[in-house]
Amino acid sequence: MTVEVGDGGTVVLFLLVAALAAGVVVAGAIAYQRAEQARLARLRAWAASRGWTWTARDDSVAELLGTRPFGMGDEREAREIITGARDGRPFQAFRYVVVEHSRDSKGRRRTTRDDYQVVWVTLPRGLPALRFAPDDAFQRVLTGLGWGDVDTESHEFNQRWRVSTRDDAYAHAILAPHVIEELLRPAWAGATVVVEGRFVAVVRRGYPDLRTLDATLDRLEALTGTIPPFVLADYGR
């Protein structure tokens, strides 16, 4: 069946369709906001049940490290920050947001955001920057900026990881057999590990997954526990 309307009817029909579309968009936005509020409430409650603190946002946390993926973008945000300790050892877990501003060919401003999940623990002394990551564009950029890629005697490790450093001797000092063995565990697949100052951080793309937090902390504690003591003595500050 075909319905014919005059010009005035066409305008009314168009306005009705536009109003319905706008209503759908608004309803979707409201539903998303409610779901997000519920998610954050569950996060706060879960952190409190563990005796940990929760902070909605503190961008100063996002500026503590500068080794990629830290230090990227035009702006950096730290959201949904959980601060706590396990067995007396402090840690933080948070959503790291990298904000990029650009303009298209017509000069229109565009903003993009990339989300990362970060968990880090601290060392008793600060160490120079070191990055373990799968081969990617960032690694190639770092290599061009003078961060060498260090090979080890483990072929499997060399295939899985790219090690970025400005001091090969320091990297080889950290890469003791137990450290290499630890980083070959399947749990590290897809992660980037950053050692910088007193922090050892594991970074993955996407939103934080609380179901994996304890396992990630286990692996971080195992990794830092295998760093030879002389590394902290010789390179620590």
Residue 191 one-letter amino acid? A
For residue 62, what pLDDT is reported? 97
For residue 119, what pLDDT is reported? 98
The dihedral through the CA atoms of 201, 202, 208, 213 has a sign that is negative
For residue 186, what pLDDT is reported? 96
Per-residue pLDDT of the chain (237 residues; tens, 9 = 90+): 444 555 556 666 555 666 666 666 566 667 767 777 787 888 899 999 999 999 999 999 999 999 999 999 999 999 999 999 998 999 999 999 999 999 888 888 999 999 999 999 999 999 999 999 987 655 556 555 555 678 899 999 999 999 998 899 999 999 999 999 999 999 999 999 999 999 999 999 999 888 899 999 999 999 999 999 999 999 998
What is the secondary structure of 50-119 as a DSSP string?
Answer: TT-EEEEE-TTGGGS--STTTT-SSEEEEEEEEEEEETTEEEEEEEEEEEEEEE-TT--EEEEEEEEEEE
For residue 146, what pLDDT is reported? 56
Instruction: Kindly report the pTM of this predicted structure.
Output: 0.82
Q: Which H or E run includes 165?
A: strand 162-165
Q: Is there a contact between 195 and 130 (Cβ–Cβ < 8 Å)?
A: yes
Classified as helix, coil or strand, 125 is strand
The dihedral through the CA atoms of 124, 120, 144, 59 has a sign that is negative
For residue 42, what pLDDT is reported? 87
